[in-house]
Structure 1
Amino acid sequence: MSDVTIFAPSPTLTVTVENSGDADEIHIHAGGQGVWQARMLCRLGVSVTMCCTLAGEVGQVIRHLLEDDGVEVVGIDRPGRASAYVQDRRGGEREEIGAEVGDPIARHELDELYGAVIREGMRSRVVILSGPAADDVLPPDTYRRLAADLRASGCTVVVDLAGDRLDAALEGGVDVLKVSDEEMRAHGLDDESPQTIAAAMRSLRSRGAGVVIVTRAEEPLLLLDGEGLAEITPPKLEVADSRGAGDSLTAGVVAGMVRGETPRGAITLGAAAGAMNVTRHGLGTGDAEAIAELRKRVRIAPVAGDDGTSSARVSPDGLASLAETEEER
């Protein structure tokens, strides 16, 4: 039995070519949102079971790579193509050479995967619902059903999703939601002040999220729970690669919760994990002792002037627009 179960429907095989002096280096890893979350959780000493589908020869390689990282794999084998990409980073930036998003998950395999998540989730009690490699891999409503069924079974559900999958999970109900301000802007948020973002965060809470965490690139994180709005500021470190920082943050929050901390306490570990991840080229990685030291330097404080009544100025569509403003209530 693991501490955390991760639903990762379609992990990705990543191949990266890098320059090492006068020779090329080729790095092969399992990747994707759920994988990066799992990798950081393992670095933080948290045991992980990943429920996923594994297609073809790529899926066989992914299974071995995950197990080598210390992840317990509950994989549903299926025919067809898996998600994979090859990138060239010899020039410093990532240049995609080839990519395959993989085939959609067929009904029978999805039924098997769904049952595995419920079973393993009830054993671990904390479940992260992560996104697929592509939009058409599985129906978005799968996230509504999983969120509702897992919580009804006594599990704590954490999500880091976007678009239709986020909407579906909120309908099912989640304990902790992590979302980026970029996602909120894509759905119509036209003012990025903390007060306006806070109103959008309240709309997300009204729609089914117990705790809402918003990442804002170089700006401090925001957290909204029953105590109100808080701003979390980690130390600023030199960025080698920003990818995977949000997934590392989610993993850090979950690691703290597994150890009995509230999300408001665990966010400091998440912020430290995300800050450490950007200093590395390996996604979802970081030294646990360094993260622990960074955590001591994370600042958390209430947002000045937040009275809980600000209204988000958003378009009619998307995340924040689905809730009424305080005046309309």
Structure 2
Amino acid sequence: MAHSDVALFAPSPVLTLTVEEQAGRPDIHVHAGSQGVWQARMLVTLGASVTLCCVLAGETGMVLRHLIEDEGVVVKAVEGTGRNGAYIHDRRGGERVEVAEAPSDPLTRHELDELYGITLSTALDAGAVLLSGPSDNAWAQDAVPADAYRRLAADLRAVGKPVVADLSGDRLAAVLESGLTVVKVSHEELLEDGRAGADDQDALIRAMHELHDEGARYVVVTRADQPLLVLADDVVRIVRMPRLQSADTHGAGDSLTAGVTASLARGGDIEDAVRLGAAAGMLNVTRHGLGTGDVEAVLKLRELVEVERLEPGGSGAATAPQQQVSPRDLAERTRGS
């Protein structure tokens, strides 16, 4: 089997059923979900080969394997004894309304050990490794202990692999202890973790330097509709991009992480990686599908991403208004006209 550009650690994918409305009638969509799946989807869109390492179990696990593989992702899975989670969302009213949710069963010690081995083996042949968290749901937070992330990050660092982590809380603290290449985190997560005392730029920059001191070579902070902040080589950069009309903001941060990882896996530098990630996240918000997009549009939008170094004391730069882009303007730009 050919080696993948990216090895993606995504412990517990979930089955998603979403009800839309089409011509006045219910339109039901069935997909694989979870942070890692959305990241894998965008990586494939960007032309990266991906191997997703996970646990699949029960009827939901059987369906998930087919759905993930059908999207062009190689699946290396532990055959679990329980079941993967699933949820049903109703979006006919324009917003996501949870109808029902079934949790994944906790991973056994044997399943976790086997998943660790599969991931390490896959990572040794990959260009980069992406560590993704379990589902955001409270019942999934104990599925994979933080120490498993710490050990995995340490082993990958020992063999010289670039490691990207999209984590928060105890899992973020654990991988920082081992050291890694990139940490992507939102400003909300920094606040929730107590790493930032406020959401103003100065407080976030202090938190970014602390993350670097704890073990992250590069730090990327998303701030909802505000420009990204990037810390690289002791320099903070502000990343501005047009603010597109939003269809669904879910998954935008995961698309950004995927773009960064895809670029690093191919030997790109951090600025190139952030430009690609920002463009992927930018396009994702214009679509209802999570982690979706068109590679040509992403590459053209990348040219609209502006990266500017923030000089000490220059906190006002990040609050400059962003350019508004209409759907027509977007269509013209992505056609290259």
**2:158 paired residue among 152, 155, 172:** 152
* Count of aligned pairs: 308
**Residues 81-96 of structure 1 mapped to structure 2, 5 A cutoff:** 81-96=83-98
- For structure 1, the 5+ residue unaligned runs are 309-329
Q: Distance in 2 between matches of 1:156 and 1:306?
A: 32
Contact preservation (8 Å) 2:127, 2:266: no
**Are 2:282 and 1:275 equivalent residues in the alignment?**
yes
Note the C-alpha offset of 1:307.
8.8
**Residues 161-240 of structure 1 mapped to structure 2, 5 A cutoff:** 161-188=167-194, 189-240=196-247
RMSD: 1.3
Q: Distance in 2 between matches of 1:95 and 1:54?
A: 26
Note the C-alpha offset of 1:180.
0.2
Q: Distance in 2 between matches of 1:206 and 1:283?
A: 33
Contact preservation (8 Å) 2:162, 2:264: no
Note the C-alpha offset of 1:104.
1.0
**1:297 paired residue among 285, 304, 313:** 304
Note the C-alpha offset of 1:174.
1.1
Contact preservation (8 Å) 1:122, 1:154: no
What is the TM-score with the length of structure 1 in the denominator?
0.91
Contact preservation (8 Å) 1:229, 1:306: no
Contact preservation (8 Å) 1:195, 1:306: no
Q: Distance in 2 between matches of 1:88 and 1:196?
A: 38
Note the C-alpha offset of 1:258.
2.1
Note the C-alpha offset of 1:292.
0.6
Which residue of structure 1 lines up, in the alignment, with residue 81 of structure 2? Answer: 79
Which residue of structure 2 lines up, in the alignment, with residue 248 of structure 1? Answer: 255
Note the C-alpha offset of 1:92.
1.1
| Deviation per residue, 1:255-297 (Å, 9 max, x gap) | 1112221112210010000000000000000000001110000
Q: Distance in 1 between matches of 2:234 and 2:179?
A: 19
1:10–1:231 CA distance, 2 compared to 1 (3 A): same
Runs of 4+ off more than 4 Å: none
Which residue of structure 2 lines up, in the alignment, with residue 26 of structure 1? Answer: 28
Contact preservation (8 Å) 2:5, 2:49: yes
Note the C-alpha offset of 1:157.
0.6
User: 3-state DSSP class of the match of 2:125?
Assistant: helix
Note the C-alpha offset of 1:303.
1.3
Contact preservation (8 Å) 2:9, 2:131: yes
Which residue of structure 2 lines up, in the alignment, with residue 320 of structure 1? Answer: none
Which residue of structure 2 lines up, in the alignment, with residue 313 of structure 1? Answer: none
Q: Distance in 1 between matches of 2:145 and 2:106?
A: 9
Which residue of structure 2 lines up, in the alignment, with residue 314 of structure 1? Answer: none
Which residue of structure 2 lines up, in the alignment, with residue 316 of structure 1? Answer: none
* Farther-moved stretch of structure 1 (280-289 vs 92-101): 92-101
Contact preservation (8 Å) 2:178, 2:215: yes
Q: Distance in 2 between matches of 1:118 and 1:221?
A: 31
Q: Distance in 2 between matches of 1:125 and 1:300?
A: 25
Q: Distance in 2 between matches of 1:232 and 1:101?
A: 37
Q: Distance in 1 between matches of 2:217 and 2:102?
A: 36
Q: Distance in 2 between matches of 1:306 and 1:264?
A: 22
1:207–1:66 CA distance, 2 compared to 1 (3 A): same
Which residue of structure 2 lines up, in the alignment, with residue 123 of structure 1? Answer: 125
- For structure 2, the 5+ residue unaligned runs are 316-337
Q: For 2:210, give the aligned amino acid.
A: S
What is the TM-score with the length of structure 2 in the denominator?
0.89
Note the C-alpha offset of 1:50.
0.3
Note the C-alpha offset of 1:227.
4.5
Q: Distance in 2 between matches of 1:299 and 1:15?
A: 37
